[in-house]
Amino acid sequence: MLSTTVHMGSFQQTAKPARAAPGGCEYEDMDAVNIDSMLARFSEHWAPKKIAELNDYDVKIVKVLGDFTWHAHTDTDELFLVIDGRLKIQLRDGDVALGPGELFVVPRGAEHCPRADVETAMLLMEPRGVVNTGDAGGDMTADLEMLT
């Protein structure tokens, strides 16, 4: 049996010394992104916050309540993952209802209007630079803020 000096208590350390990973590679401890903690840092609705990057995509979180605005994204699909609450994605061909842990990808070019009758928190994934109101513009267009 291999002995090791790494044990559960080591995760409480504030210092992050390099450790030997299995196979001999050195690595640093990395910080997880805690979605609940990130959600606790803002309260406004329909203003997505970037919490991570994935290649040329942004991972965003947003709180919503009420109706958004009808719009489409002509160049990209858009992923909605509900974390808490209930979201109805209104589409021209019908509605999609999402609860916690459920996701839907709105196809590129499809007109959609998200709606939440209770305050709802979601995670979004879309290419960097996508504007929340797509081709519609208007008052609900939000600048993207990065939470670190």
CB of residue 87 vs Ni ion: minimum separation in angstroms? 12
CB of residue 147 vs Ni ion: minimum separation in angstroms? 20
The size of the interface with Ni ion (CB under 5 A), counted in residues, is 1
Joined tokens for residue 116: 């939440």
Residue 133 CB-density burial (10 A; 0-12 exposed, 13-18 middle, 19+ buried): middle
Q: Give backbone dihedrals phi and psi of 133, rounded to 5 degrees, phi first.
A: -95, 5
Residue 100 CB-density burial (10 A; 0-12 exposed, 13-18 middle, 19+ buried): middle
Q: What's the sign of the alpha-carbon dihedral 72, 73, 76, 77?
A: negative
Q: Which is nearer to Ni ion, 69 or 84 (CB)?
A: 69
Q: Which x/- pattern over 4-33 shows residues binding Ni ion (rule: CB under 5 A)?
A: ------------------------------
CB of residue 65 vs Ni ion: minimum separation in angstroms? 16
Joined tokens for residue 84: 């808490």
Q: Segment contacting Ni ion (CB under 5 A): 38-46, 71-79, 90-98, 116-124?
A: 71-79
Q: Which is nearer to Ni ion, 51 or 64 (CB)?
A: 64
Q: Note the residues at the interface with Ni ion (CB under 5 A).
A: 78
